[in-house]
Chains A and B, each alone.
Chain A
Amino acid sequence: MDQFYTALSLYRRRKYEECVAECTELLEKNPYDQAIWTLKMKALTEQVYVDDIEAEEEGIAEALMDTDTIAQVARPGTSLRTPGTAQGGSNQGLRPRTQTGRPLSGVVRPATQSGRPGTMEQALRTPRTARTARPVTSQSARSVRLGTASMLTESGGPFIQLSRLNMGKYAAQGIIAKPLFEYIFYHENDVRHALELAVQATQACQFKDWWWKVQLGKCYFTLGLVRDAEQQFRSALKQQQVVEIFLRLARVYIRVDQPLSALDVCKTGLQYFPGEVTLTTEIARLFEGLNNIPTSIKYYRDVLKEDATHVEAIACIGLQHFYTDQPEISLRFYRRLLQMGIYNAELFNNLGLCCFYAQQYDMTITCFEQALNLATDEAVADVWYNIAHVAIGVGDCNLGMQCLRLSLSADSNHAPAYNNLGVLEMRLGHAEEARAFFQAAGSLAPYLFEPHYNYAKLAEKMGDLQTSYIVIQKSLQAYPSHVDSKELLEKLQKHFAFI
């Protein structure tokens, strides 16, 4: 059999390593065969390919070197940074916030974990997790970690010496330039060279190939030149409508914090590709980020109509039902996820909680046992925290406290656990301990209003009105429409006015 055919067949069957070996052997015999060279390049690229639309996270380097000025005080409901301002948004008291102030989502995605820091100093000082002391690093570093190209380097030096590549020559050859670009972008992760190639190639084809424009946009976006990226994507969209371009353009608008433009782009995309799952998901995520949960759920339902096995949609709808006091329905969604083969601590934890609130007590303990069995270090704190809820729910304060302490031993920065521990201590009459716990929770998670409110309440009760007054303002800052906080503030203000 022809060896080149074998290599092609191996590539088609996704046996990339063997394909690379076969190509290397062929290239030794005939080093100038472009076809084999290209095939090897493609095989190497496919080995490390990741969908870079999903794997995107903004690190401190981007934040620091970002010269795009974005409105600091956006109008209500037009920014992902002030999600609480949207009208008809869900109540913060009903659905907790993540560290960035956005409402809790059903799944953990890149970019749901980190907020965009304002300055370098702030980024460096942001509260770290117990796991790592490193702030989120830049995008390029992340994609290197995802695609482990560095581990796959050849024994005899790298496959292609980028610095010695004659970009102009290859850019003119459309048939090689495209795989070469992907190789440089995904395998070598050398955006600068990739950009150079893309610029020359798009010139070589007289700006007629939308593909090159998208690649240019990708490079610009990675380099943080979002406006240039936007231009390229727009220009590409004029030539041909492709789902990927709509997605990437939406990402550009998310980066510059224009969620409404991003929504617009996605909706235009949906007109061309009705029911496209990725676009609908993007819209649902955007609405979720804008704290417009009902609309978000509507789009997630659309996703499920198109693709009934969509995990993210199931999880998000399940979560919404849980927080709108329908644990039985939520339970059905989570059970579906379990049936589909998801097997992790988070799911069992959620199942356990749903069972508990749906009064199916027999399953609760089993679910939590499974969750604890599966939980990694990061999740175990949350699992214990939720078990504490069950314990409090059945009235076993002692067990609740011990669970909370276990949660804290797993993650010493677990602010909600501190808060609840504080509440329990308060019930036992240990005001000093309670105060300490509330203070700890408040300093760890200023975005939570509960510790502030609790502390203010405690201080007010103990007669420390000044502290109470200061703290209740913090609570209102975190959650401006919290009625109890408002009442307390009013009471204090009246009291001070009276004096």
Chain B
Amino acid sequence: MSLFKARDLWCAQCGDNETFDQASIFTANLGSRYDKIIVGSHSGYLRVFEPSVELLEDGTINGNKPTDLVIEMHLPQPVLQISAGKLVSGSQNEHLSVLHPRSVAVYSLVTKAGAAEHGDQSRLVLAYEHQLRRSAFCMVLGPFGGVNGRDFLCVQSLDGTLSFFEQETFSFIRFLPGFLLPGPLVFLPHTDSFLTVTSNWHAETYRYQVLAEAGGTSDEESASGRKVTTEWSYNIGEAALDVVAVTWANSYCDILVLGERNLFCLKDNGTLKFMKRLEYKPCCFHPYFIEPDGRLMVLIVSETNTLLVYEHTKLLWSAQLFVAPVAVTRATFEVINSSQQKLSMKGVLVLLSDQGELQCSYLGTEPSLFMAPPLEIHAIDYEQAGKELSELQKVIKTYTKRSTASLTSTAAEQEVKVSVSVNSQLEPCPFPHSIDEEGVEIPMCRVSVELVPHSPLSKVQVSVIVQPPLTVSQVSHTISSLCERSSIIAYVYMEQSCDIPTLDVRVITSYMASTGGFPRVLHNVAQLPLKLVALFTAPAKEADFKVTLNTNQPVVSLSQLFPEFVGEGVLSGTSNAAGFQYYGGRGSTVTVLAAKSSQRYRLQCDTLPSLCLLTSQLVQRLNRHFSRHEGFTCSYSSSLPLHELFSEIGTHFFFREKARKIQEELGQRTTQFRVIQRRLLAKFKDKTPTPLTNLDMLLKEAYQQILASTDEMEEIQQALLRSRCQLGCVTRLILLMMRLMNTVSEEDYSDLQAALPSTVYDAEEQGWEEVTDAALSHLLRTSLAKGSKTSQHLAQIALEPMKDITRFKKHISAVLDRISKGSNKAERKDNVGELLKPVKSVSPIPEAGEGGHDEEPVVPVGSQYGERAVSANPRGRSAALLKAHRAAQMPVTNDGLTSHPEAGVVTLKTDQGQKEPSDPQVALIEGPSDVSPSADDDIW
């Protein structure tokens, strides 16, 4: 992040595919007025540049000229480091020293002044070369030991030895103690010592004298000797990237250490002068003193190629660079201005990148302006846009007015054709299930869905849904893009032994429309074969529950109605009795009888829920069989098995309550568990170990309890599932009966069907009971309301968890009663209800033992099976009695109802104050959202 960018003065590219590192560049004047840049690459090229800059009259800068490259030389070895000093004995001139991996060479630069215009001739002459026994890492030059007018050489090798050379002669070799990775090494002339940052992340100094005296021999081979001791050491706590010692006017010396996260400035006695925490990753740095007043300046280049200029810790300038440098330094150059005067330009930045881009630049005030890319702007035809806007406004207005948007799916059907086919041939089921009946193999049925798209669709999801206890092998299938005809196969089988409410299989296809990208949903329903769930068995003679259907056509033989079972067992061509047994039906048999002389059918079974499926199947099949006969009716005239419905509701509700209780218990136990955990944690965290005081046992116990609760929960869930199926069956049966009674208008029936859902779902807060109760009470208050009360305003119905189901039961019976009577008429059509007089006292739920001696009032005449006249079993209670009860309950229900509007009065009085102008003081919230410069703002 910087406001300005560095300005280019001069740049050059050093070779192709050569690599450079921090030590590959050196600036020195080597005897002349202006600085030379010496660059050595890892490929062995050594280049000497002497840049000169020409300012043209029009203000532009003439950069790199070919003559600026003084020498280019290819050395046989890679160049690791370049330095310069008085390295040749008897000469006060500066010589270049070049570090190779296995040697260090000293060259002198010889310049022959050219007579012609094309300039001087320069070459490098090798003065001497020392071979190294160990791979070198870096070298340091300096007047070690306080010599005057001479510079000595010290080479640090990769394994931590320091080899000292006094110009042409080798002096000694020393091991650095505690060495692992080589760190930067500098010589501090004031204290005549060496400073390095060790692998221990300490900055340590060693006196030259100590180093020199520590060894016994001066042999290059042996490096034995006493362990050298440090003069001082400072713990910087991180690895150093570079260390530079800067001297101010021979009076003092500052050591600047660029760590990976901090910049340290140490005095030469080992105390910290200042440090700065860097909020970015530094690459390289260059500290220097500004001459007149000795201000310490530090140039740091960050990883994001920003050059930051600090004075001490204060940021003075930041500039964006165009290269990613590995080294930065300063130099003085010759500048020829427009009037051909030669001036020297001090403090030019010299940057060298990894790839060899050598750049000299200065800090200019040209802003590094970031231009936001312009947005696509198309010319707007105002007239047309205005028209479009008003049209859209209209659409929006109508849309917001009409709260329910009716989406037509006709368009969807044109886009894709979904056909569902159910294979009537069953296969043995390989999937795991929980029906454990001996010798029975559960069949499964293949359902294939074929999708024929008319346009390419994306994200098509096909779900095959059946109601439990049936399951599908794979419920949802996803096709990421649908282009051609494709089919999906799923297998349906029974998973649990429950009563089956329905054999419908629903296929729901949802996808994103190709145009516009809005979602579409398609529904398809198909029937599964009866054989999937039922087996043929011998008919049973006795049963507790009976359902009789009357028709107005002659009786059809059962083999015609159930052709798929012909040939199995005893269902012969003429038989008029058949038994069906469900898989996992616990042995109860549903018997279907066709009357011989009358036009009636009878279904009987020991359990009511089991009847549901076959009754609906029978009705369906009869309707199909007589589909050509006009005016075929199939009716049911007996009473509704309301008591069974209530008992099923009771069971379901009971299990729900129980599940809720266990859930609460589980919540408590887990809370307890966490509390114990916390206590244990506190104990373990304690410095002084304390006895656990049996907390571990408590933890274990609590864990066991949780496990026990979850097991219980699982059981309850199973029971709940079963009860849900049974409740669904009974509800469905009752709906079917209502329909068959033929007294109910279409409209009422559909209302009832919607209000009394036969699919039972239980959510955590709302169950079937709550939803149904709310729907039924709404019905009672609207379409089924008594008299002229329909006009009264609707109260809100709160969907709160139900505490007691008595009222709910009342609502059900009231609704069923009123519907069977016709919604808006008070007159009674129900003959049965009229015939029977309320004989019993009012009791909301008829208890067991009441129906001891009731007779089944509607018996198909001519049935070959005897009737079960008396039953002590409450399940076998006659429906007639229930009618009586229902009649008796009527007033109670009505009383219950009148209280409802009161409960709903809480709705706000909305009529007032509508037209009033709004208060001007109403507060608005406003505010710009946060500027979030991507949480890591330490990069800048």
Whether A225 lies near B685 (C-beta < 8 A) is yes
Q: Does A178 contact B (CB under 8 A)?
A: yes
> Which of B21, B260, B923 is most buried by chain A, counting CB atoms within 10 A of its CB?
B923
B775 CB to nearest chain A CB (Å): 23
Q: Mask for A63-104, Cβ within 8 A of B = 1, else 0?
A: 011010000000000000000000000000101100000001
Interface 9-residue window, one of B270-278, B559-567, B570-578:
B270-278
A-B contact pairs, 28 of them (CB 8 A): A1-B78, A5-B135, A9-B42, A13-B354, A35-B180, A67-B685, A95-B927, A96-B927, A110-B935, A175-B179, A175-B200, A179-B199, A242-B237, A244-B262, A309-B3, A339-B370, A341-B370, A344-B933, A348-B372, A370-B372, A386-B927, A427-B918, A429-B916, A435-B908, A462-B909, A462-B910, A463-B913, A467-B908
Contacts of B918 in A (CB 8 A): 423, 426-427
For window 457-498 of A, CB contacts with B under 8 Å fall at 457, 459, 461-464, 467, 484
CB distance from A451 to the nearest CB of B (A): 9
A328, B315: Cα distance in complex, Å: 27
Using a CB-CB cutoff of 8 Å, which residues 227-278 of chain A contact chain B? Answer: 240, 242-244, 247, 273, 275-278
B932 touches A107 (CB 8 A): yes
Tell whether A104 pairs with B930 under 8 Å between CB atoms, given A5-B137, A38-B180: yes
What residue in chain A is nearest B310 (Cβ atoms)?
A307
Q: Which residues of B contact A389 (CB under 8 A)?
A: 924, 926
Chain A 97-125: CB-based contact to B (< 8 A → 1; otherwise 0): 00000001111111000000000100000
Q: A175-B199, A462-B910 are in contact. Are A65 and B370 (CB under 8 A)?
A: no
User: Known: A13-B326, A209-B235. Is A420-B681 also a contact (CB below 8 A)?
Assistant: no
Q: Which residues of B contact A420 (CB under 8 A)?
A: 924-925
CB of B303 within 8 A of chain A?
Answer: yes
| Interface positions of A from 366 to 391, Cβ below 8 Å from B | 369-370, 373, 379, 382-383, 386, 389
A4 to B135, CA, bound (A): 9
A276 CA to B315 CA, complexed, in Å: 11
Q: Are A14 and B303 in contact, with the CB atoms below 8 A?
A: yes
Contact A431 to B914, CB < 8 A, known contacts A5-B135, A339-B369, A369-B375: yes
What's the count of A-B pairs with C-beta under 8 Å? 269
Q: Which residues does chain B contribute within 8 Å of A106, judged by CB atoms?
A: 930-931
Q: How would residues 896 to 940 of chain B score, 1 for a CB under 8 Å from any chain A CB and 0 otherwise?
A: 000000000000111011111111011111111111111111101
Bound: A423/B920 CA distance, A: 10
In the bound complex, how far is the Cα of B931 from the Cα of A322, in angstroms? 13
User: What residues of A have a CB within 8 angstroms of the CB of B78 in the complex?
Assistant: 1
Note all chain B residues with C-beta closer than 8 A to A58: none
Q: Is the CB of A240 within 8 A of B930?
A: no
Give the contacts of B391-406 with A (CB-CB under 8 A).
393, 396
A51, A373, A432, most chain B CB atoms within 10 A:
A51
A207 at the interface (CB under 8 A from B): no
Inter-subunit contact B101/A426 (CB<8 Å): no
Q: Does A350 contact B (CB under 8 A)?
A: yes
Given A342-B1, A369-B375, A373-B375, also A34-B180 (CB < 8 A): yes
Check B925–A402 contact: CB distance below 8 A: no
**Nearest CB on A from B805, distance (A):** 30
Within the complex, the shortest CB–CB distance from A179 to chain B, in Å, comes to: 8
CA distance A318 to B1 in the complex (A): 17
CB distance from A104 to the nearest CB of B (A): 6
Q: CB of A306 within 8 A of chain B?
A: yes
The secondary-structure label for the interface of chain B is loop
- Chain B residues with CB under 8 A of A39: 181
Chain B 736-762 residues near chain A, CB threshold 8 A: none
Nearest to B313 among chain A residues (CB) is A275
Which among B159, B201, B367 is the interface contact of A178 at CB below 8 angstroms? B201
Tell me, rounded to whole Å, the shortest Cβ–Cβ distance linking B917 to chain A. 8
The chain B residue with its CB closest to the CB of A36 is B181
Is B283 engaged at the interface, CB distance under 8 Å to the other chain?
yes
- Please tell me if the beta carbons of A457 and B315 are within 8 angstroms of each other in the complex: no
Interface size on B, residues (CB 8 A): 88
Contact A54 B935 (CB under 8 A): yes
The closest CB in chain B to the CB of A66 belongs to B678
**What are the interface flags for B344-375 relative to A under an 8 Å C-beta threshold, 1 for contact and 0 otherwise?**
00000000001000000000000111101001
Q: Which of A408-435 contact B (CB under 8 A)?
A: 416, 419-420, 423, 426-427, 429-432, 435
Q: Which residues of B contact A6 (CB under 8 A)?
A: 42
A99 to chain B, nearest CB (A): 12
- Which residues from chain A contact B3 at a C-beta distance below 8 Å? 309, 336, 339-340
B819 at the interface (CB under 8 A from A): no
Does B549 sit at the interface, judged by CB under 8 A? Answer: no
Mask of B674-705 contacts with A, CB within 8 angstroms, 1/0:
10011001100100000000000000000000
Interface centre among A39, A225, A276, A334 (most CB of B within 10 A): A276
A183, CB-defined interface residue at 8 Å: no
The answer to whether the Cβ of B318 comes within 8 Å of any Cβ in the partner chain is yes
Docked CA distance A178–B259 (Å): 15
Partner of A1, one of B42, B279, B908, B922: B42
Chain B min CB distance to A307 (Å): 4
Residues of A within 8 A of B909 (CB): 462-464
A325–B169 Cα distance when bound, in Å, is 76
* Chain A contacts to B: CB under 8 angstroms: 1-2, 4-6, 8-9, 12-14, 34-35, 38-39, 42, 46, 50-51, 54-55, 64-65, 67, 93, 95-96, 104-110, 120, 174-176, 178-179, 209-211, 214, 225, 240, 242-244, 247, 273, 275-278, 305-312, 315, 318-319, 322-323, 334, 336-344, 346-350, 353-354, 369-370, 373, 379, 382-383, 386, 389, 392, 398, 402, 416, 419-420, 423, 426-427, 429-432, 435, 448-450, 453-454, 457, 459, 461-464, 467, 484
A463 to B78, CA, bound (A): 91
Determine if A398 and B393 form an interchain contact, defined as CB atoms under 8 angstroms apart: yes
Min CB–CB distance A306 → chain B (angstroms) = 6
Q: List 16 extra interface pairs beyond A108-B931, A382-B929, A389-B926, CB under 8 A.
A: A46-B260, A67-B682, A96-B927, A104-B930, A211-B201, A276-B277, A277-B276, A278-B279, A311-B937, A336-B3, A337-B933, A338-B370, A341-B2, A383-B929, A423-B924, A484-B923
Say yes or no: A429 contacts B914, CB within 8 Å.
yes
**Residue of B with least CB distance to A448:** B925
For the complex, is B281 an interface residue (Cβ under 8 Å from A)?
yes
Out of B275, B279, B326, B929, name the residue touching A379 (CB < 8 Å).
B929
A207 nearest CB across to chain B (Å): 13
CB contact between B370 and one of A12, A275, A343, A427 (< 8 Å): that residue:
A343
Q: Is the CB of B910 within 8 A of A311?
A: no
Chain A contact residues, majority secondary structure? helix
The interface residues of chain B lying within 8 Å CB-to-CB of A307 are 314-315
Q: Are B313 and A276 closer than 8 Å at their CB atoms?
A: yes
Contact in complex: A120, B928 (CB < 8 Å): no
Closest to B264 in A: A242
The CA of A338 and the CA of B2, in the complex, are separated in Å by 10
Tell me which residues across on chain B come within 8 A of A416, comparing CB atoms: 925
Cα of A92 to Cα of B42 in the assembled complex, Å: 63
Which residue from B281, B313, B315, B685 sits with its C-beta under 8 Å from A14? B281
Interchain CB contact under 8 A, A419 and B925: yes
A221–B277 Cα distance when bound, in Å, is 21
B199, chain A: closest CB distance, angstroms: 4
* The one of A108, A174, A305, A373 that contacts B935, using a Cβ cutoff of 8 Å: A108
**A244 → chain B closest CB, angstroms:** 7
Which of A2, A9, A175, A346 touches B931 (beta carbons < 8 Å)?
A346
With both chains docked as a complex, state the minimum distance between the C-beta of A425 and any C-beta of chain B, in angstroms.
Answer: 9
By a CB distance below 8 angstroms, the chain A residues around B682 are: 67
A109 to B936, CA, bound (A): 8
List A contacts of B916 (CB < 8 A).
429, 461
In-complex Cβ contact of A109 among B318, B370, B917, B935 (8 A): B935
List the B side residues contacting A240 at CB < 8 Å.
Answer: 235
**A236 nearest CB across to chain B (Å):** 10
B685 adjacent to A426 (CB under 8 Å): no
B927 & A426 in contact (Cβ 8 Å cutoff): no
Which B residues are in CB contact (< 8 Å) with A67? 678, 681-682, 685
